[in-house]
Structure 1
Amino acid sequence: MAMAAVTHLQLLSPHSFSCSIHQQQTNYSSFPFLNSLSLPPPFANSSLFLDHQSHKSSHFSHGRCFWATLSGQKRFQGFRRCVAELAAGTVLRKSPRDTNVLVVGSTGYIGKFVVREVLKRGYNVIAVARERSGIGGNFDKEQTLAEFGGAAVCFADVTDLNSFKAALEAQGSQIDVVVSCLASRTGGVKDSWKIDYEATKNSLEAGLAMGASHFVLLSAICVQKPLLEFQKAKLRFESELQACDKISWSIVRPTAFFKSLGGQVETVKAGSPYVMFGDGKLSACKPISEADLASFIADCIHDQDKVNRVLPVGGPGKAYTPLEQGELLFRTMGKKPRCIKVPIEIMDFAISILDFLVRFFPSLEDAAEFGKIGRYYAAESMLVLDPKTGKYDADGTPSYGTDTLEAFFEKVVREGMAGQELGDQAVF
């Protein structure tokens, strides 16, 4: 049956609803394209209005209105997208104490801060962790439980979907929002696809099975120009998440982290020069602290303006080139700048050799990839890429938070890099 004019859909409960066309009540089973629709909770007292003649639809829930387009073959997907947005809108209006947030990648560099921030805001947090976590697997179960006091900790293997689902079911709690802070620990080829794509997709599937209505993804701004395997893996999942009509989403693409700019603090303190590639101006970034990024991610749980949006974000202040970063570090120490500028062609030569050797020694695949990662970050800016000009735009890169790079350098010069260790990601 072709639908025209105005259809009214009254969502009566998580899995039941009634429809009316031209004010005539009808059962949803009369419409084949609705038969396989799975409605996530909660939907009590919510309504959806579809207007196919005017090519727009709106749904009203507790006085709020959202718009979408439905037509032709996309009717079913569009309908489900509206339902997903309705579900997200309902969840976003729930109080924190009534909202269950699943955090995967909770023991990672950013994940730890996300768990603490979401707990601080009063949400119910289920933190997913491995039995051995942290750099080199140095954290055991007891240490993880102590780290996340106030959160329910679910020990699970996110790379195994079935066991992951079983572990969540054993928790016995419905999930409202999933926050994924998963990231490859090394950037290696196989590890990137295993974590940045497969494990993150498992988090989506497991969340949907537990009733999740919104998914917050920690991605990276560098996926704008995907030349590396971990970028391609992240971008593939981003694409599938955006195409999923069962859930709404927020994709967070941060710029550089503070810790990635602190790798030379100790060597410079010891009297060594600051090393950079080219003239020190090949790239730039607006780094963001882990605390500010965690706050932004937590905002995505309740902020309707961040729903179904890709969200690049950097820290406050100007964009710094490597040359400016080095000058700032020396100024913080009260020393005269001493820099070594290394031709980037040296990296190109080394990468070409590794690429050649990989043909005969496949075990060198990751070594070649690590070289490409280092080269990428030496030459590419961590800023918004203007698709029209093909250039990075510092002014067009949103700023968020209060922590500045200068304050970070002052702290690590005074206290050291404890808590900012690069660990398995030292290549970055």
Structure 2
Amino acid sequence: MFGASGTIGRAVARALLADGHVVTSFLRHERAADAETGELVQAGVACRFGEVTDPASIMRDAFAGEPFDAVISCLASRSGVPADAKAIDYQANFDILKTAMANVVPHMVLLSAICVQKPRLAFQHAKLAFEKELQASGVTWTIIRPTAFFKSLSGQVDRVMRGKPFMLFGDGELTRCKPISDADLARYIVSALSDPGKRDRILPIGGPGPAITPREQGEMLFRLAGKEARFRHVSVASMDRIIALLDSAARFSKRASEKAEYARIGRYYATESMLVLNPATGEYDAEATPEFGEDTLEEHYRRLILERGDC
């Protein structure tokens, strides 16, 4: 598998082992001494090292001419800027696919993202471009598009614990999602290896509902922390002004260009729900968004608060 150094990738490796699979993971050379790598090795994962942006390394160091029943890719660009997105979300996955085909690997499972339904960002276009390559490859494929992750909704826990207000875009009701835990998502990904109903399909997936808004996330956090709810509102218009300024500076600065893309990514997630999009109406549909697993965001928040020793 590829991308096992991330939190979701490590969860997938654990789920594979729990399901009785023999797991080989391909990691960058610089991850060899990481605690996460040690955790994988201790769990029973065979770790190989190389460079995922080098096709020759993928062939030589990852596959090494050995037969595999399936390949799972949890790769994702770290920054989302165009160059990174093209190199990882598209090209690295494409090189993995070509090598898998050369080694007659019959099945590829791809962790994608639900936000590609309405692509406006570089990384979304890169993901979609590879999805199309995978579907046209002749290899049995499974594309999994999860909604929001628990980790992505936990960035303000420390703010709340320090007595600061919870930041909201607009009124906090602009978006909704059905967040899914790493463990539940990992079990769903692994199930695609043995479930014929998950082959040659694009599968959106969320955690147990109902869908939740950012304001409801904040209210939940304050309640669990035993604190009075306090919110600070940021207008979408202010984000648009920042993006416009950065775009102007981007003509002269690569750094400004990257910051503009980060701002566009932030605006996207502040204004678009992570739910299934109804193509007929153009509206997000919580009822049409499949659910899987048992872990809830409330349980996750409670654990984080307890870990910080203040409840």
TMscore range, shorter length: over 0.9
Runs of 4+ in 1 over 6 A off after TM superposition: none
Partners of 2:34 and 2:221 in 1: CA distance: 38
2:4 pairs with 1:106: yes
Q: Specify the alignment match of 1:63 in structure 2.
A: none
Q: 1:278 to 1:208 in 2, by over 3 A?
A: same
| AA aligned opposite 1:317 | G
Q: Is the 8 A contact 1:128 1:154 kept in 2?
A: yes
Partners of 1:400 and 1:258 in 2: CA distance: 14
Partners of 2:38 and 2:97 in 1: CA distance: 24
Q: 1:416 to 1:187 in 2, by over 3 A?
A: farther
2:26 pairs with 1:128: yes
2:209 pairs with 1:311: no
Partners of 1:142 and 1:283 in 2: CA distance: 36
2:97 pairs with 1:199: no
Give per-residue Cα distances to partners, 1:225-263, cap 9 Å, x unaligned. Answer: 000100000000001111112x11000000000011110
Higher relative contact order (CA 8 A, sep 6+): 2
State the shift of 1:141 in Å. Answer: 6.4
Q: Is the 8 A contact 1:105 1:180 kept in 2?
A: yes
Q: Specify the alignment match of 1:234 in structure 2.
A: 127
Q: How many residues are paired up? A: 308
| AA aligned opposite 2:289 | T
| AA aligned opposite 1:373 | I
Partners of 2:189 and 2:213 in 1: CA distance: 26
Listed as ranges, the gaps of 5+ residues in structure 1 are 1-102, 134-138, 418-428
Calculate percent identity across the aligned residue pairs. 49
TM-score normalized by the length of structure 2: 0.96
Match of 2:137 among 240, 244, 250: 244
Q: Which has the higher strand share?
A: 1
Partners of 2:99 and 2:75 in 1: CA distance: 14
Listed as ranges, the gaps of 5+ residues in structure 2 are none
State the shift of 1:340 in Å. Answer: 1.0
Partners of 1:116 and 1:261 in 2: CA distance: 23
User: Quick check: which has more Rg, 1 or 2?
Assistant: 1
Q: Specify the alignment match of 1:216 in structure 2.
A: 109
Partners of 1:338 and 1:141 in 2: CA distance: 39
Partners of 1:183 and 1:169 in 2: CA distance: 20
Q: Is the 8 A contact 1:145 1:153 kept in 2?
A: no
| AA aligned opposite 2:212 | Y
Matches within 5 A, 1:372-383: 372-383=264-275
Partners of 1:277 and 1:327 in 2: CA distance: 15
Partners of 1:143 and 1:379 in 2: CA distance: 34
Matches within 5 A, 1:134-153: 140=33, 144-149=37-42, 150-153=44-47
Q: 1:239 to 1:411 in 2, by over 3 A?
A: same
Partners of 1:182 and 1:416 in 2: CA distance: 30
2:85 pairs with 1:158: no
| AA aligned opposite 1:308 | D
Partners of 1:345 and 1:330 in 2: CA distance: 27
State the shift of 1:146 in Å. Answer: 4.4
State the shift of 1:194 in Å. Answer: 0.5
